[in-house]
Amino acid sequence: KTHAWPESFPDCTPALRRAVNRWVKQELRRTSGAKCLILIGPSGTGKTSFAKSLPGYYNYFDGQWRLDIWKNFTSYSIFDNIGWDEFEEKGFPNKKHILIQNGYFKVPHETGVLIEINCTQPAIMLLNQGLHEGQLGRPPITYEEERVAMFWKEHAIIYRMGSNEYFYKKPLVPAHDENQVSSSSTIVSDDELKASGAE
């Protein structure tokens, strides 16, 4: 692994560190009844790097469901770049099955055949604020929305990162210097050099 939690994240903000440490300690090793961790925050703050840094093998789904990469033996599963409200529309199994360790259930293979998987892994769902949070970012209005909100309150740890929270600091972008040449204007391919005779 490229990173290891918590050693690789010395700059992680304190409240965020406490929240994920609590989840790691209380839920990560469970094979049934674990609450899933739903992290809602800005992109570029290290959510994915954190999720991949935990001990053990993981299933990783980046925007789409792929049954061919699901492994029953992994320690946990990561769901990234998927809209909360579009989860099932993108081909994923029902959230109430795959995010809360529902054990054995069947999912459709691309051939149309139903394949049984065993979901005993805790899940981490990574959502970008505004873009992916869907119903999780709105107060429930209808009775059904209220029931769904109560379900996830019981079965998930939902952490909304503040604007100044991160797993690692974003690198500072230097101010523009009039004497600085744009990097895009200095990139020339080998073919362009040969054609210009400047080789």
The 3-state DSSP class for residue 157 equals strand
Query: E strands of the chain, at which residues?
Result: 36-41, 58-62, 76-80, 103-108, 114-119, 123-128, 156-160
Average pLDDT, the chain: 86
**Eight-state DSSP code of residue 69:** G
Residue 152 C-alpha from the chain's centroid: 17
CATH number belonging to domain 14-160? 3.40.50
Q: pLDDT category, 189, cuts 50, 70, 90?
A: very low
Domain ranges of the chain: 14-160
- Please count the other Cβ atoms lying within 10 Å of the Cβ belonging to residue 40: 20
Kindly report, residue by residue over 17-45, the tens digit of the pLDDT. 999 999 999 999 999 999 999 999 999 99
Mean of pLDDT values over 103-111: 88
Kindly report, residue by residue over 158-186, the tens digit of the pLDDT. 999 999 999 998 765 554 444 333 333 33
- Location of structure tokens 């999780």: 136
Exposed / middle / buried, residue 122 (Cβ in 10 Å: 0-12, 13-18, 19+): buried
